[in-house]
Structure 1
Amino acid sequence: MNKTNKIVDGWLVLQYQSGNEKALALLVKRWHKKLCSKAYWVIKDKDASKDIAQESWKTIMNKIHRLEDPNRFGSWAITIVYRKSIDFINKNKKENDKLHQYHYDKGVIANGEQIDNDDEKKAILSAVNSLPEHHQMVINLFYVEEYSLKEIGDILNISIGTVKSRLFHAREKLKAKIKYK
């Protein structure tokens, strides 16, 4: 997450906490699509992801005055969306196994370079999608969404050590899966 964006978000949070209603409108404008995207990333249902984002905004509005570090608004908001998405999955688990699968809309980045070869991209996406859900999440948050280890820990409510461990094991599994293809 860009440091400048964190500062702007932090300032907007402080403004809203001080009673400036327009600051909330700006936060919504800056974050609503991202929150919908995060919900969709977890549940793979466009309509439900919009509902989850709306519910998340209600929670954000009710609890934003308790946010101690306004510069952490982004990871805090995404944590709310993530948890509401997981609740949705748990409530609707029986309906469809697709809710647990990841499908990246954009190309996976390997060694810092965009993958051009469609076959390679498909192989990597297939390998990532075959990982356990907790490994898929850390791979997506770290490489695609470019969150820091600390932010990932906050979003998933796990320690930095656990984030590092999951990334390591996910990479090892990906290496093994891609070698055999």
Structure 2
Amino acid sequence: MQENGHWTREQWERACRGDAAVWDRLFRRYQLPLFVWVRELVRSEEDALDVVQETFARAVRYVDRLRDPERVGPWLFGIARQRCADLLRRRGHHPEGPDPSEEEVGCDLTAAPDPGPSPDEWLIRREDEERFFRALAGLPESQRAVLVLHCLEDFSLEDIARILEVPVGTVKSRLHHARRRLRAECGEPGWEVERKDEKRT
């Protein structure tokens, strides 16, 4: 597996043949990110562990259907999203309907953000970590999912759209609103959640 977590075609072929070493590296690379993201959605560590286990089991079963080995990360998260949806339906929980404003596609996310610490710097400041995750937990489910995938897991907007099965414009808008709400909740008027590559013009 490459450092960025992608598979090469040769690694995918080995995975299709059941190569244990390839699957072990994939598991070690994505086990924790999947668990963190799923836990944010299902709000239960026990259920999150079950979903992650089911996700890898289904990945092994259907790996031959993966069309692009370089997209193995988004593919895994897409499987996990489906497992989360099934779990929430069994609980009798209906996914939150989107805020109408989230469907706007005209938000300009390329403009230079306000100066402030990056997500990594925010988490390194231990005194702020609890406040950050408390604010994150207060976001609507749809916004929380996008923010974690983009800013903490570093997926592109296009990959997130595939994972969540929504238009890219909707992803942009949800991310925009999530950033604004987090900034307000954290009480940092100059703080913005961003990825370093978004500072480029």
In structure 2, relative to structure 1, the CA distance for the partners of 1:145 and 1:92 (3 Å cut) is same
Q: Which of 4-13 and 43-52 deviates more?
A: 4-13
- Which residue is 1:111 aligned to? 117
The aligned amino acid for 1:111 is: P
- Which residue is 1:170 aligned to? 178
- Gap runs ≥5 in structure 2: 94-115, 190-201
For residues 1-181 of structure 1, the aligned pairs below 5 Å read 4-8=3-7, 11-17=10-16, 19-22=17-20, 23-93=22-92, 111-112=117-118, 114-115=121-122, 116=125, 118=127, 120-178=128-186
In structure 2, relative to structure 1, the CA distance for the partners of 1:40 and 1:178 (3 Å cut) is closer
Shift of 1:164: 0.7
| Partners of 1:36 and 1:49 within 8 A in 2 | yes
In structure 2, relative to structure 1, the CA distance for the partners of 1:92 and 1:135 (3 Å cut) is same
> Secondary structure, in 3 states, of the residue corresponding to 2:3?
helix
Shift of 1:147: 1.7
The aligned amino acid for 1:67 is: L
Identity %: 25
Shift of 1:40: 2.6
Q: Which of 167-176 and 66-75 deviates more?
A: 167-176
Q: Deviations over 1:39-64 (max 9, x none)?
A: 33322323322222222223212221
Shift of 1:7: 3.9
Using the size of structure 2 for normalisation, the TM-score is: 0.66
In structure 2, relative to structure 1, the CA distance for the partners of 1:73 and 1:117 (3 Å cut) is closer
- More helix per residue: 1
Q: Considering only aligned residues, what root-mean-square deviation do their CA atoms show, in Å?
A: 3.0
Highest RCO, 1 vs 2 (Cα 8 Å, sep ≥ 6): 2
The aligned amino acid for 1:90 is: R
Q: Aligned partners of 2:37 and 2:83: how far apart in 1?
A: 11
Q: Deviations over 1:134-178 (max 9, x none)?
A: 111112222222222122112211122111111112223334444
- Gap runs ≥5 in structure 1: 95-109
Q: Aligned partners of 2:153 and 2:172: how far apart in 1?
A: 16
Using the size of structure 1 for normalisation, the TM-score is: 0.72
> Secondary structure, in 3 states, of the residue corresponding to 2:57?
helix
Q: Aligned partners of 1:122 and 1:33: how far apart in 2?
A: 19
